[in-house]
Chains A and B, each alone.
Chain A
Amino acid sequence: MSGASVVSMRRRRAGMGGSPMGWATLALSALLLAGCARGPAPVVFHAEGYPARLSDWNVVYRDGDRLALNERVVPFDLNTPLFSDYAHKLRTMWLPEGTSARYEPREAFDFPVGTILSKTFFYPVAAGENGVARTDDTSRDHAGEGLDLRNVRMVETRLLVRRQQGWIALAYVWNAAQTEATLERTGASVPLQLVAADGSREPFTYQVPDQNQCAGCHASNNTTREIKPLGPKARHLNKDYAYATGSENQLAHLVELGYLHDVPATGVPRNADWRDAANASLDGRARAYLDINCGHCHNPEGPADTSGLWLDSFDRDPRHLGLCKPPVAAGQGTGGHRFGIVPGQPDESILAYRMDSDDPGVMMPELGRDVVHREGVALVREWIAAMDGDCEQD
C-alpha cells in the first residue's frame, strides 16, 4: 500500500495530473525506468533579492486544476491557528537537501539557512461577486496534499525564507485567473464577501500585509526585531496530519524525513485544538486561542509588552493575564470597561470588547483581520463567563 501511495504521489508531483491515467502511468513508468523525471523544476532558494513571482521559488505550482506541492515540500497545520478573516490555509515547509531544523521546546524550531515556509490563504468559493464561504469545512479544499482549485479561491501566498542574514517575509497576491501570484511588498487590499451557509453576505476588505506589517507580528521580540516563524513551534505542530502517505504525528513525520532533530521522547508540549470541546478543557482551548492570536505581541518581550498584558500560553500570574488589570494605553479601546478581564463578566471585559470590534482604532489583533471572528469571541466570552469571582476588593 505504501509503495502505491509513493508512486501516486510522485506521479502527481511529476506534473501529469491532468493527463489520462493510462498515458500518465505509462509515462511515469518510462520516466522511473529512465531515472530522469521531467517534472516541475526544483524548489529555488533565493539567497537575496525580492523575486517578483511566486513561481520563481517553485515551492507550489499550478498543475491543471490543482495547486501542487513540489518535491520534498511538506504540508503542516497547527492545533489552533491564527484567525485571518475566515481564510483557510495551506502551510508548507521545505528545507535544503541534507539540512534539518533543531527542536526547541518553546520557540520556533531553529531552521537552517535555505528553509522556505509557505502559507497560502484561500477560501472555498461561494456564489456571487467576490463570494467566499464563511465555513470551517475543509473537506472540499484539497487535492492530494495540494489544493483543489475547482473549489477554492487563493488570495495570497506568504513566504518566510531563512537567509544568512535572517528570516525575510514576502507576500505574493494571486491573480484573478489563479495562475500566478505577484510580490506585493507594500501590501494589497482585496474586496471579498463572506457568504454564510444561510446565504447572508458580509462584505469585507482582505488586507494583504506590507512587509513591515509581517514583521509587526513575526518580530515577537521587539528589541532584537528579528523576524521568526510563529507557527512551527512544538506546541502548535504536535498533532496528526493526513499526509498522502497516511495520517501521522507531524513531529514524527518531520523527524522521519530528516527535517527535524533533537525531539525529546517525552514532554513535548501540545496546545489544545480550540474547537475540540470533546477532548480539551475550556481553559486549554481559550489559552491556545489567545496564544496563537495574541501571544506573538502580548508577551514579555513582544511589541505589546508596553501593555503589561501577556497572553502567550505560559504560566502567567492572573494580573498579567488581564484579570482585574486596568489598561495602560488602551485609549478608546477600553470600550468603557475598567479591566482586561472581569471574572464571570465578558460584557465588562476589555479583552472580549476588543476582539469583538472591527474598528482599526479599537480591535485586537491590530492587524490581519477585517471582520470579527465570532466563534473566537464566543470561546473567549465563554472562558471569561466560567471564571469565578469579581474584581471587587475583599
Chain B
Amino acid sequence: MRIMLVLAVSGLLAACGDGRREPATAADAEFQKTLQQRLLDAKPGDVIDIPAGRYHLDRSLSLRVDGVTIRGAGKDKTVLSFKGQTSGAEGLIVNASDFTLENLAIEDTKGDGLKVNEGENIAIRGVRVEWTNGPDTGNGAYGLYPVQTRGVLIEDSVVIGASDAGIYVGQSKDVVVRRNHAERNVAGIEIENCIGADVYDNVATHNTGGILVFNMPDLPQPGHTTRVFKNRILANNTDNFGRKGSAVSAVPAGSGVVIMSNDEVEVFDNEIADNQTANVLIASHYSAGYDSKYKPSAAFDPYPEYIYVHDNRFSGGGDSPDGLELKALKVAMFGLKGRLPDVLWDGYANAKRPQGPQICVQGASGVLDADGPNKNKSPKSDAKPFDCKLDPLPAVAMKQA
C-alpha cells in the first residue's frame, strides 16, 4: 500500500522566485528539517511528495529505508537548491533498495547531486541536476551517481555542469540509461565498471566527452557488456574543466564516444557528429596517464577488447583535436585542413590474446591507429584491420523497465 505524505510547510512560496542568493530563511530551515524527518521515518511503500517551489538546503539529505519514492511536481517546478551548502558531500545520499526519485531538480550541490551507494532497483526519472553557473572546475563531481547498485534505470533526466560526469553509473549491474540530456559536463554519461548497460535515446552535447565506457583498476568489479545506441552525440567540444588528476581529466575535448579498458562494447545506430577530436575514441589504461610504479592487481585488464562500432551516422568531427600530440598527428597525416577519421584507437593491445583486441568498425570514415606503444612513431590510417563483425550483445533485462 502506498501512503502519501505531503509536506505541509507554510511560507514556502515566500522562498520562491529569484531567491537564489538569499540566505536560507526560517521556512527553508523548517522545510529541511521536515523533509529529513520524513526520510528518517519513511516506511517501505511511502511516497514523499514535495510540492512545487524553490527550497534552499544547507546540508545533505539522506535516505536509508528501502522502498521509498521521493517525488516532486516537475524538474523545473520542485527545486532543491544547495547553493551555499555548508555540510555533506552530496545533495541526497541514498543507501537503500527499491528507491525512486522523480520529477524534481537538485541544484548547486558542493559535491555530487544524487549518490546512491549500494541498493537494488533504483529508478531516477525526470530529474534535473544542474550547476547553474555552468562549467566550472569547482562544481560538484557527479550529477546522478548510482554506484554498486543492481537494476538501475535513469530516464528523462537532465544533467548540466558536472565537473566530472553528469550521469555516472559505477560498479553496477543491469543498467538502463535512456532519454536523458547531458550537457556541458566534462563527461556527459559515463558507464564505469558496470556489467550489462544499455545507453540509448540520450542526447549528449557540449560536454568535453559525450558518452564514456570506462574500466578503472583497484575495484571489485571489472565491467563488460555495454550497448550504446540510438543516441545523439553532438559537438562535445567543451574545454576539459575537470580537476587535474580526476578520472575524466585526461579526456580530450571533442570526444564523442570514449571506450577505455572496457570489454564487450557495442556502439550502433547513433548520430555522432562534430566532435572535434574524434567521434569515437578507443583507448587503454596506458593512454590515460594512470600508470605508476605500484601496479593494480594482475586481474585488471587495461585493454579494450571486443568492441563493435557499426551502423552509426557520422558527420564532421576530428577537425580540431585537443592537445598538441593529437594536433601534430592530425597535421602530419591529414594536413592542416584535414581531419582525423571517425574512430581513433590508441594502439595498445594484449599481445598474448590469440584473437587480438577484436575491435571491429563498420560504416565509419576510417580508423586511425595512433601507435601509442611506440610514442606515436608510426600511426596508421587503415580501416582494413578493423573490417570485421562481432555478434551483437544482449539487451539488459530489467525487472522494472
Q: Mark A368-394, 1 if CB is under 8 A from B, else 0.
A: 001000000000000000000111111
Knowing A331-B141, A335-B245, A366-B88 are in contact, say whether A319-B110 is a contact too (CB < 8 A).
no
Q: Known contacts being A223-B118, A360-B110, is A324 close to B292, with CB within 8 Å?
A: yes
CB distance from A328 to the nearest CB of B (A): 5
Q: What residues of chain A lie closer than 8 Å to B95, measured between beta carbons?
A: 215-216, 219, 222, 225, 303
* B window 134-159: CB within 8 A of A: 137-142, 145, 147-148
Which of B37, B59, B87, B142 is within 8 Å of A331, CB to CB? Answer: B142
Check A308 for interface membership: any CB of B closer than 8 A. Answer: yes
Selecting from A100-108, A146-154, A181-189, the interface stretch reads A181-189
Tell me the bound Cα distance from A170 to B64 in angstroms.
Answer: 15
- Residues of A in contact (CB 8 Å), total 56
CB of B15 within 8 Å of the partner chain:
no
Chain B residues with CB under 8 A of A205: 86-87
Query: What would be 16 A-B contacts, judged by CB atoms less than 8 Å apart?
Result: A185-B40, A186-B32, A189-B86, A207-B86, A207-B87, A212-B63, A212-B93, A215-B95, A219-B95, A222-B148, A305-B148, A308-B217, A333-B243, A360-B85, A367-B87, A367-B88
Q: Compute how far the CA of A116 lies from the CA of B245 in the bound complex, rounded to whole angstroms.
A: 44
Residue contact B246 to A330, C-beta cutoff 8 Å: yes
| CB of A222 to closest CB in B, whole Å | 5
B210 at the interface (CB under 8 A from A): no
Which residues from chain A contact B375 at a C-beta distance below 8 Å?
none
Q: Bound state CA distance, A360 and B138, in angstroms?
A: 11
Q: How far is the CB of A153 from chain B (nearest CB, A)?
A: 21
How many residues of chain B are within 8 Å of chain A by beta carbon?
Answer: 60
Residues of A within 8 A of B318 (CB): none
Contact string, B217-259, partner A, CB cutoff 8 A, digits 1/0? 1111000000000000000000000111111010000000000
| Among A66-74, A136-144, A286-294, A336-344, the stretch in contact with B | A336-344
- Indicate which residue in A309, A329, A336 contacts B170 across the interface (CB closer than 8 Å): A329
Q: Mark out the residues of chain A between 22 and 79 whose CB falls within 8 Å of any chain B CB in the assembled complex.
A: none
Q: Which of A320, A326, A330 has the most CB of B within 10 A?
A: A326
User: Is there contact, CB below 8 Å, between A328 and B40?
Assistant: no
For the complex, is B376 an interface residue (Cβ under 8 Å from A)? no
Beyond known contacts A207-B59, A319-B294, A327-B245: 4 more, CB 8 A cutoff: A185-B37, A186-B32, A210-B40, A334-B249
Residue pair B244, A361 in contact (C-beta under 8 Å): no
Q: Does B293 lie within 8 Å of A392, measured CB to CB?
A: yes
- Enumerate B101-119 residues with CB–CB distance to A below 8 Å: 109-112, 117-118
Known A-B contacts A189-B86, A306-B171, A319-B218; the reply to A216 vs B62 at CB < 8 A is yes
- Asked, given contacts A210-B40, A225-B64, A320-B218, whether A326 binds B292 with beta carbons under 8 Å apart, the answer is yes
Q: A14 in the interface, Cβ–Cβ < 8 Å?
A: no
Residues of B within 8 A of A389 (CB): 293
Query: How far is B86's CA from A313's CA once the two chains are assembled, in angstroms?
Result: 30
Chain A's closest residue to B193 (CB) is A328
Whose C-beta in chain A lies nearest to the C-beta of B64?
A212
Check if A359 sits within 8 Å of B293, measured CB to CB.
no
**What B residues does A370 contact at CB under 8 A?**
86-87
Instruction: Give the residue name and chain of the A residue nearest to B243 (CB).
Output: A332
Q: How many A-B pairs fall under 8 Å by CB?
A: 182
What B residues does A189 contact at CB under 8 A? 58-59, 86-87
- Closest approach, in angstroms, between the C-beta of B136 and any C-beta of chain A? 9
Q: Name the residue on B nearest A322 (C-beta).
A: B294
Which residue on B lies nearest to A393, using beta carbons? B293
Q: Mark B279-312, 1 if CB is under 8 A from A, else 0.
A: 0000000000111111111000000000000000
Q: Is the CB of A332 within 8 A of B62?
A: no
Q: Known contacts A222-B117, A331-B164; decide if A318 and B147 are in contact (CB<8 Å).
A: no
Give the chain A neighbours of B140 by CB distance below 8 A. Answer: 331-332, 361
Say yes or no for A272: interface residue by CB 8 A criterion.
no
**B220 partner residues in chain A, CB cutoff 8 A:** 305
Give the residues in chain A near B37, CB-CB below 8 Å.
185-186
Let me know if A393 and B291 touch, CB within 8 A.
Answer: yes
Residue B36 interfacial (CB < 8 Å): yes
Contact A337 B87 (CB under 8 A): no
A320 to B300, CA, bound (A): 14
CA distance A211 to B163 in the complex (A): 30
Contact of A338 with B294 in the complex, beta carbons under 8 Å: no
- Taking the closest CB of chain B, its distance from the CB of A169, in whole angstroms, is 11
Closest Cβ–Cβ distance, residue B184 to chain A (whole Å): 16
Q: In the complex, A320 Cα to B60 Cα: how many Å?
A: 28
Flag whether A323 is at the interface (Cβ < 8 A): yes
